[in-house]
């Protein structure tokens, strides 16, 4: 059963704490992405990776970090430097790096600040 | 000017009617265009992709692209209550694989 999984579904962060959101795909896709969605807003790109061991900043990378050690996995860390982390975080993947490739989304992680 | 703009405000349509959604984009060299449906609290799911000028039909959905006027639209025929959701327009510019998303249009189908 192929797809994109994200965990946890809900995550609570305390002040000053770093938290890591998991994203795994078994679609054999080369490219993976992290987006943030705030209420009533469109999706904003945080980071993306087109190949293992390589990633680029998106439009709102400050306060976030990523790694891409395996093709299947693209975890996102929300650091204490991100002052307004409450949002719906979406991971996506696409087959390759060509400009026409469709992105498919995981179920999302909702991050809340305690 | 925002990269991708969608009409503001929810769209209410009676069951069985046609829902029409519009999206304009600023990057003239954009090549790929997508419509996603997002139910409340869920992640976006792809409905349609379109790359060439004209119409593309898939079941009750029709996407229309006009690159000269820089707009892409989505028609939902025979609207059903299950079509009630937010519809996101996404555009990929020329030369990169980043998607720019609009804020979305909420559609409410009234039984």
Instruction: Give A18→chain B minimum CA distance, Å.
Output: 24
Cα separation, B75 vs B64, whole angstroms: 8
CA distance A65 to A61: 7
Distance from CA of A29 to the nearest CA of B (A): 14
The CA-atom distances, in angstroms, between B110 and each of B21, B40, B42 are 17, 17, 21
Q: What is the pLDDT of residue A97?
A: 63
Partner-chain contact B92 A100, CB within 8 Å? yes
Per residue in A42-68, pLDDT tens? Answer: 899 999 999 999 999 999 999 999 999
Smallest CA–CA distance from B49 into chain A, residue: A102
Record: contact B97-A97, CB cut-off 8 A: yes
Q: Rounded CA gap, B97 and A113, in Å?
A: 32
Which residues in chain B are closer than 8 Å to A102, comparing Cβ atoms? 34, 46, 49
Ordered per-residue pLDDT tens for chain A, 114 residues = 569 999 999 999 888 899 999 999 999 999 999 999 998 788 999 999 999 999 999 999 999 999 999 999 999 999 988 889 999 999 999 987 665 578 999 999 999 988
């Amino acid at each position: 059963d192929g797809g994109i999984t994200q965990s946890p579904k809900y995550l609570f962060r305390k002040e000053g704490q770093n938290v890591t959101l998991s994203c795994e795909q078994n679609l054999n896709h080369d490219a993976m992405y992290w987006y943030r969605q705030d209420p009533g807003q469109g999706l904003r790109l945080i980071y993306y990776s087109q190949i293992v061991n390589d990633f680029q900043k998106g439009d709102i990378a400050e306060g976030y970090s990523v790694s891409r050690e395996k093709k299947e996995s693209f975890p996102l860390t929300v650091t204490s430097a991100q002052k307004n982390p409450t949002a719906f975080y979406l991971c996506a993947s696409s087959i390759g790096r060509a400009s026409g490739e469709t992105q498919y989304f995981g179920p999302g992680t909702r991050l809340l600040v305690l | 000017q925002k990269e991708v703009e969608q009409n503001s405000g929810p769209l209410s349509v009676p069951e069985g009617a046609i829902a029409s959604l519009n999206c304009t984009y600023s990057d003239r060299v954009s090549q790929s265009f997508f419509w996603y449906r997002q139910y409340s609290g869920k992640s976006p799911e792809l409905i349609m992709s379109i790359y060439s000028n004209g119409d593309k039909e898939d079941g009750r959905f029709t996407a229309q692209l006009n690159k000269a006027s820089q707009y892409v639209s989505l028609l939902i025929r025979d609207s059903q209550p299950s079509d009630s959701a937010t519809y996101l327009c996404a555009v990929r510019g020329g030369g990169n694989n980043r998607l720019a998303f609009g804020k979305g249009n909420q559609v409410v189908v009234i039984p």
